[in-house]
Amino acid sequence: MSDKKDKDHRLKVKPYRATLQAKIDDGELELVSPLSSQREACKAMGASSAYLQSKPHEAFRMLQKEGTVTVEDLLHHLELLETTGISGIEDLWERRQLSSDTRRNSKPGRMRDFFLAPSVDQVALETRASSLATRSIKTDSKRAALELSIKCMDLTTLEGADTREKVSSLCRKAIRPDATNSSVPSVAAVCVYPEMVEHAAEFVAGTSVKVASVAGAFPSGLSNLNVRLSDIADAVSRGADEIDIVLNRSAFLTGKYVQAADEISAAKEACGEAHLKVILETGEIGGYDQIRRASELAMHAGADFIKTSTGKISKASTLPVVLCMAEAIRDHADRTGQIVGLKAAGGIRTAKQAWHYLVVIGETLGQEWLTPDMFRIGASSLLNDVLQQLGKIETGRYFGPNYVTVD
């Protein structure tokens, strides 16, 4: 389809989609109502009886030949045409195949289709993120912001040279970040490989610090699914409170959304009582539209948290990326009532950067998300800079890095 024809068709389909949506909103039509013929479908959207005979509707006509279509199928088809100019039989048919596991966190008949995540306005998103980064925190609020940053931190060691002693040292710092000041709060969690979970769980027992573990073929997520699920179950059995897995980017980037979602649902089941964080690896999956789509997919599939990155690639967390994910979480909560947390990880090294993320979360999602249960910051060198800033508030002097312990 030429660019001009594509644009013309998008404009033409818009009023029909709006008419259909209005009838749904008014209760005149239900999403699950069958449409037994093309004539009935045209009537539902206020179009002429010949409207569905044109080429752009070929995929919808093919779907009708496969069996009964519903109002929801028609709405999906029109939304695809309006947003992309193309309606594919693969999208329409694959949508029907969503497993019950993938649907379970959504209200019956009102599932937001992650195949149709809204397009993101890049200029507006980046402008807003830049604007939020100019917000200043006054002296009287600075201590509270610094302490909140610490409470929301995950201290991480994910190296091949990790030992019990190294994990114990990390846990000690997680519980008591400043050995000279007991008023400094503990961090939210320590994150380790499954093999180190038992050591970490033993060390933090009786404290508020949780144990998180990467699992499921981290950081690629490309081993056999049963192997990944066994890895998750093993980490939980060792004492992990939280499991961090990666989105199957291979499936996602090739449009196998149902597969990617079902794998997350299976991982959620393998987690049992443990919370599931799904890492999108935003530096690898494309632009903001893809980040938005991946966020919605992970939330619908059962993620308790969505997370920016593994920290294993150079492209890490940025304010616009976190803002994009936060807006997806906000909209998902509005639609479904499901509350999902967010973790920003990778490249956050200074207290000032941490404040910026707190502002983005607070302004976009509200105070409810400004807790360790709903927001996390992946920290490596960040904690020491925050401790130095706290020291300056208390003493009026800025202590160098030699005055804090090395992670």
Which residues are part of the catalytic machinery? 244, 307, 343
Closest of 323, 318, 377 to residue 145, by C-alpha: 377
Q: What angle separates helix 122-132 from helix 319-336, to the nearest 10 degrees?
A: 110
Closest of 128, 210, 196 to residue 162, by C-alpha: 196
SS3 342: strand
- DSSP string covering 263-288, please? HHHHHHHHHTTSEEEEE--TTTS-SH
Q: Cα–Cα distances in Å, from 336 out to 23, 102, 296, 330, 331? A: 21, 14, 12, 10, 9
Q: What angle is formed at CA 10 by the lines to CA 9 and CA 16, rounded to 5 degrees?
A: 90
Q: Give the span between the Cα atoms of 400 and 306, in whole angstroms.
A: 34
Q: Cα–Cα distances in Å, from 152 out to 146, 308, 366? A: 10, 15, 15
Q: 137 burial class (0-12, 13-18, 19+ CB within 10 angstroms)? A: middle
Q: Cα–Cα distances in Å, from 223 out to 217, 233, 246? A: 6, 15, 12
SS3 34: strand
Pairing of strands 341-345, 305-307: parallel
DSSP state of 369: G
Closest of 102, 26, 97 to residue 67, by C-alpha: 97
Q: Which residues of 257-269 are buried (b: 16+ CB within 10 A; e: fewer)?
A: bbbbbbbbbbbbe
